[in-house]
Chains A and B, each alone.
Chain A
Amino acid sequence: MSAPTTRSVPPHTPYHPRWYRSHVSTYWWMQQWSYFRFVLRELTSLGVAYSCVILLYFIRALSLGPQAYEALQRRLASPVLVLVSFISLVLVLFHTITWFSLSARAMAVRVGGKRVPGLLITASNYVAWLVISGVLAWFLLR
């Protein structure tokens, strides 16, 4: 047994078949609507992160003073940031909708030994969302 001098064959264990691996395109998620929706759902996280950063900027402006608060609002009204915010809002809403339908499948709530139908769980999520949004709006628009 001597060490091979040429590297014409990729390294593999003798007597073991090389695995067959079908090549998956980098753009696999663009080939079907359901795949694309899956990736879009994952990308909603970018909208979530953007929202956190915006809120942190507002907290920073509050600690800096009234001028910083006004300046931040003026900067957010620039066309580029309005576009980014709008896209983020669409993504965040998509996250909320998909998260609520997901929670109905992830949670098996049982009342009196019977499983609560998923539609009811999703519906109660929407109701809670409306109530929470209403409370927040009341605090901010008072």
Chain B
Amino acid sequence: MPKRPIEPLFWTLFSAGGVIAAFFIPLLLFFFALAFPLGWLTPPSYEALHHLVSLRLARLFLFVVCSVPLFHWAHRFRYTLYDGLQIKHLNEFINVFCYGGAIAGTVVSAYLLWNLH
């Protein structure tokens, strides 16, 4: 009966990623991509940030914030391409691109956080 049993998992990741993105990403993006590089706010020193990220809880937090929202992106972007551009015939390619990208990002974040000394 269930034709695509993987779909509920993707949807759960989509909605979990949506929650995480909504609560955590606006401030992090504003700080790290605009306020710190442009000098609007004093960025934390390398040592301070390194120390913060060396905490296990902070790493877990960063892993979740960097990986789960990528699945949110994959899900939404897939349907935007389907509906917005009406390119359903490229289904397979779009799926590989979106979910493959999210999985790759998850692997990269796990690798980076695991090897951070």
The A interface is mostly helix, strand or loop, or mixed, namely: helix
Q: Are B37 and A132 in contact (CB under 8 A)?
A: no
User: Of residues 74 to 118 in A, which have CB atoms within 8 Å of B's CB atoms?
Assistant: 74, 76-77, 81-82, 85-86, 88-89, 92-93, 95-96, 99-100, 103
Query: How many chain B residues touch the partner (CB < 8 A)?
Result: 55
Q: Which residues of B contact A96 (CB under 8 A)?
A: 21-23, 26
B34→A136 contact, CB < 8 A: no
Instruction: Report B's interface with A, CB cutoff 8 A.
Output: 17-19, 21-34, 36-38, 41-44, 46, 48-50, 52-53, 62, 65-67, 69-70, 72-73, 75-77, 79-80, 84-86, 101, 105, 108-109, 112-113, 115-117
Give me 29 A-to-B residue pairs in the complex whose CB atoms sit less than 8 angstroms apart, sorted by A's number: A26-B85, A39-B80, A45-B73, A45-B75, A46-B77, A47-B29, A48-B72, A49-B70, A52-B69, A56-B66, A59-B53, A73-B36, A73-B37, A81-B33, A82-B37, A85-B34, A86-B34, A89-B26, A92-B21, A92-B26, A92-B29, A99-B19, A99-B22, A129-B23, A132-B23, A136-B24, A137-B27, A141-B42, A142-B44
